[in-house]
Amino acid sequence: MMLYELENNMALSIHNMESETNMAEQKTKISAWKVIKYQMKVITDMKKWYVFIIYIMYMLLSGLLPITTVWFPRHIIDAIYNGSLTQMSFYTIWFCISATILAVGSFLLEGYAIGNFLEMRLEQYSIYHRKYKDVSFQYLENPDFIAQRSSAMRTLSNNDEGFQGTYTLIFRLLPEIVSIIGFVIILGTFKPVIIFVAIGTAIIQYLITVHSKKMSFRERENLAEAERKANYFYEIGHDFNYGKDIRLNQMSEKLQELHKSKSSVFTLLFGKIKKHEYKMGLFDLVFSLLTNGLAYFWVITAYFQGDITLGQLSMTIWAIIAISYKLQQAGDKIAKIKVATDFTGEFLRFMNNEAYFPVNGSIINKLHPFQIELKNVCFKYPGTDKYVLNHLNLKIDAKEKLALVGLNGSGKTTLVKLLCGFYQPTEGEIIINDQKLADFNLEKYRDQIAVVFQDTNIYAASIIENITGENADKHHNLLALSALEKVGLAEKIATFPEAENKQLLKVIDPEGTEFSGGEIQKLAMARALYKGDTGLVILDEPTASLDAIAERDLYQKFETLISGRTAIMISHRLASTRFCDKIAYLANGIVKEYGTHDELMNMQDGSYRHMFLVQGKYYREEGNLCETTENA
C-alpha cells in the first residue's frame, strides 16, 4: 500500500476527528468510537476488504459453536432417557459434524485474520517512521516529547493490546454476541429472570474490569517516563561510544547504581498497578460465584418439581454457565477495547500534533543556483533563554563561497542547522531564492543540499551502503564508488577482500571494521559528493580530524567539486578560507565583520584579523618547533 496515501488518509481522518472535537487543544481524548472508525478505515485504505468477510464468517462459525455444544447434548440426553437409539445416533452424528465444521472453520479463519491484523499494525510503524524523520529537531531532546512518544508507541508494541489488540478483540467479541443471543433465546424459554441476573452480573463485571484497567492508563506516562530513565542508564552502560569513558573514569558502578534506583521507581509503580488489578479480580470472582449459585438453585428446583426434562436441565445449566462466561468475556473484551483504543487515541493525537510533525510546505522548486538571505534571524534553543543568534542579517549570493568563522559557541553550527530546516528561527526569516524556507517541502529541499557535519554517524552496514542507503542499483553503486575514490578512501577499501562491501562496526558483523575519525570524515564527504550537483554545499568543520596533508588534498578537490555551486564553509583553520569569496565573522549572535579576506585583514582592530594573526603565529611557532626538533 502506498504509504503516502495511507499517511494522508490518516492525517485527514484524524484531522476531521480533531476539528469535530474543537481540538480542546491536543489534550482532548479521541473517543473509542473514532479510533475504531480510523482502524476500520485502515482496512479499506490497505484494500483488505476480505478482512470484513473474515470478520462476518468467524462471527457466525465461532458464535454458533458454543450453542451447538449445549443444544445437541440436550437432545442426546433426552433420547437416552427415552431409550431411543435412532434419535440418539441422529443427534450425535449431527453434533459431531457441525461441531467439527464450526471448530475447524473458526480455527482457520482465526489464523488468517491474525496475520492480517499484524500487517496492519506494522503498517502503522512504517507511517510513524516516515513521519518521524520530519519531527522538528527541537523536540528530539525534549523530555516531554520523548515521554509522549514512548507512551504513544506502546499501542504498537505488541500483538494482543493496543492497535492490533483492538482488531483481535473486536474479532473475538462478535462471536460472543452471537452466542449470547443464542443463549438468551434458550434461557428465555425457561426462566427469563435468569437472563437479567446474568446480564446484571456481566455489567458489574465489566465495570470492575474497566475500573481495574483505568489505573494502568492513568499511570501510563509516569510508567513510560520511569522506564525511559531506567533504560537510559542501562543503554549507555552498554554503548560502545561510552566504553572508553566508563572504563577510564570508573563510571560503571555509578551507572549500575543509577539504573537500579531508576528501575525501582518503575517496579514500584508497576507493582502498584498490578496489586490494584488483582484486588479487583478477587472481588469479581466472589460476585460471580454468588450470582451463578442463585441461577443453579432455580433450575435444579424446577427439575425436581417436574417442570423440565433431564435434557433441559443439562442444557439450562450449561447455558447458564456459558452465558455468564460469554457475558463476562464480552464485558472483559469491551473493557479491553476501551483501554486499547485509549492507547491508540494517544498514538493518533501524537501523530497529529502539528507542532511535532509540522505540515510540510508545498514548494518543491529546483534550487540551482541557490541564493540565501537571513533577515533579522533570532534563535534560542528550546528550554533556554539565551539567544544564540540575535537579529542576524546575512546574504549569500548564488554560487558564492562563504566562510563562516568565529569563536567556539558563536553560533556557526546553529546557523547551519537553521539552514537545513532542523530548527525554525524564533524570529525573522530565512529566504531561499526569494521564497521563505518555511514554505518549502523540507524533504525535497534537503535533497538539494549537501552537508558535511563535524560529527557523523556511521551505520552497521557495508561501506557502500553507508553512502547509498540500502537497495541501491548498479548505477548508484558506481556513483558511490566514484565519491569514495574522490575523497581518498579507495586505497583503504582496497585493503579489504570484500572491498566496498566490507561491513562497518561490529554490532551486526563481528568481522566489521572500525574507521578512524579522519576516515569517518572522508566517508561523510563521500556522502555529500554522492548527492550530486546540489545547489548548496555546507562543510561544517569537515577536516577537524584530518592531518594537514589530507586536509589540503581534500580542499583542493573540493575547490573544483563545488565550483558553480553556493557553498558555506566553517573551519577553524583560517588558511582554508582562502578559496572563499566572502568571510562572515560571527560574534554575539550577529555578523560582526563581513567582507573578503583582504578587506577583513585591513581592519586594524578587526577580530578576524586578530584571530588570523594569532593562528598564523601559532602555526609558525609550531613549524619552528618542528624544524628545531628535526635539526636536533
Q: What distances in angstroms separate CA 74 from CA 70, 176, 190, 296, 310, one per listed residue?
A: 7, 21, 14, 17, 8
Q: Does 143 bind ligand ADP (CB under 6 A)?
A: no
- The one among 410, 503, 545, 577 contacting ligand ADP by CB under 6 A: 410
Which span (330-338, 346-354, 404-412, 575-583) binds ligand ADP, by CB under 6 A?
404-412
Residues 6+ apart with CB under 8 A from 81: 309, 310, 311
Which is closer to ligand ADP, CB of 73 or CB of 428?
Answer: 428
Q: Which of 535, 246, 505 is nearest to 365 (CA)?
A: 535
**Residue pair 420/452 in contact by the 8 Å Cβ criterion:** no
Q: Does 132 bind ligand ADP (CB under 6 A)?
A: no
* Distance, CA of 353 to CA of 345 (rounded, Å): 12
E strand or H helix that includes residue 304: helix 252-304
Which is closer to ligand ADP, CB of 449 or CB of 586?
Answer: 586
Q: Does 488 bind ligand ADP (CB under 6 A)?
A: no
Which span (121-129, 189-197, 198-206, 380-388) binds ligand ADP, by CB under 6 A?
380-388
Q: Does 589 bind ligand ADP (CB under 6 A)?
A: no
**Side chain identity, residue 413:** T
Q: How far is the CB of 338 from ligand ADP (least distance, A)?
A: 40
**Residue pair 414/392 in contact by the 8 Å Cβ criterion:** no
Q: Does 543 bind ligand ADP (CB under 6 A)?
A: no
The residues with which 587 forms a beta bridge, in sequence order, are 590
SS (H, E, C) 71-109: HHHHHHHHHHHHCCHHHHHHHHHHHHHHHHHHHHHHHHH
Q: Does 313 bind ligand ADP (CB under 6 A)?
A: no
Q: Does 408 bind ligand ADP (CB under 6 A)?
A: yes
Number of H helices, E strands in the chain: 21, 10
Q: Does 384 bind ligand ADP (CB under 6 A)?
A: yes
Q: Does 562 bind ligand ADP (CB under 6 A)?
A: no
- The one among 34, 412, 502, 565 contacting ligand ADP by CB under 6 A: 412
Which span (19-27, 162-170, 402-410, 543-551) binds ligand ADP, by CB under 6 A?
402-410
Number of CB atoms found within 10 A of residue 231's CB: 15
Q: Does 385 bind ligand ADP (CB under 6 A)?
A: no
Please, what is the end-to-end C-alpha distance for the chain in angstroms?
73
Q: How far is the CB of 545 from ligand ADP (least distance, A)?
A: 16
Q: How far is the CB of 146 from ligand ADP (least distance, A)?
A: 14
**Side chain identity, residue 241:** N
The residues with which 325 forms a beta bridge, in sequence order, are none
Which is closer to ligand ADP, CB of 194 or CB of 405?
Answer: 405
Residue 374 backbone phi and psi in degrees, to 5: -100, 120
* Distance, CA of 122 to CA of 169 (rounded, Å): 18
Instruction: Using CB under 6 A, count the residues that bind ligand ADP.
Output: 11
- The one among 414, 466, 521, 571 contacting ligand ADP by CB under 6 A: 414
Q: Does 564 bind ligand ADP (CB under 6 A)?
A: no
Q: Does 413 bind ligand ADP (CB under 6 A)?
A: yes
In the region spanning residues 262 to 281, those forming contacts with ligand ADP, defined by CB under 6 A, are none
Residue 118 backbone phi and psi in degrees, to 5: -60, -45
Which is closer to ligand ADP, CB of 31 or CB of 413?
Answer: 413
Strand intervals (E) in 204-327: none
In the region spanning residues 59 to 118, those forming contacts with ligand ADP, defined by CB under 6 A, are none
Which span (27-35, 60-68, 308-316, 401-409) binds ligand ADP, by CB under 6 A?
401-409
Q: Does 201 bind ligand ADP (CB under 6 A)?
A: no
Which span (6-14, 332-340, 409-417, 427-435) binds ligand ADP, by CB under 6 A?
409-417
Q: What distances in angstroms separate CA 98 from CA 58, 70, 173, one per listed residue?
A: 15, 13, 21
Q: Does 542 bind ligand ADP (CB under 6 A)?
A: no
String of b and e for 12-36 (b: at least 16 CB within 10 Å)?
ebbeebbeeeeeeeeeeebbbebbb
Q: How far is the CB of 246 from ligand ADP (least distance, A)?
A: 23
Which is closer to ligand ADP, CB of 409 or CB of 564?
Answer: 409
Which is closer to ligand ADP, CB of 136 or CB of 341?
Answer: 136
Q: Does 388 bind ligand ADP (CB under 6 A)?
A: yes
Number of CB atoms found within 10 A of residue 276's CB: 17
- The one among 90, 94, 381, 619 contacting ligand ADP by CB under 6 A: 381
Q: How far is the CB of 140 from ligand ADP (least distance, A)?
A: 9
Q: Which of 295, 302, 286 is nearest to 322 (CA)?
A: 295
Query: Which residues of the chain form contacts with ligand ADP (CB under 6 A)?
Result: 381, 384, 388, 406, 408-414
